[in-house]
Amino acid sequence: MKARVHVMLKNGVLDPQGEAVRHALGSLGFDGVEGVRQGKVIELDLTETDADKANAAVTAMCEKLLANTVIESYSVEIS
């Protein structure tokens, strides 16, 4: 089973990497970009075959390690 975790900074948290990308895009002539938020995607290969158990395990991983839940939000996809 595979899991994909999307981690993004919560709204209201300063995103200096996103701002740097926005500025660079403007410098390259892409003037229509008003804001950029940068996040990360984590892909996991799991031995678990039950989707509910896999989702619970990956959620626990996010809460303990993969996301800083104080400033980041996350979503989990199981396939």
Residue 35's pLDDT band (cuts 50, 70, 90): very high
CA–CA–CA angle 6, 16, 32 (5° rounding): 85
CA–CA dist 52, 54 (Å, integer): 5
In this prediction, residue 20 has a pLDDT band, given cuts at 50, 70 and 90, of very high
What structural domains and CATH numbers belong to the chain? Answer: 2-78 (3.30.1280.10)
For residue 57, what are its two tokens? 């395990």
Interval 46-78: pLDDT, tens:
999 999 999 999 999 999 999 999 999 999 999
Please state whether beta strands 72-78 and 2-9 pair in parallel, antiparallel, or not at all (unpaired). antiparallel
pLDDT (mean) for 7-23: 96
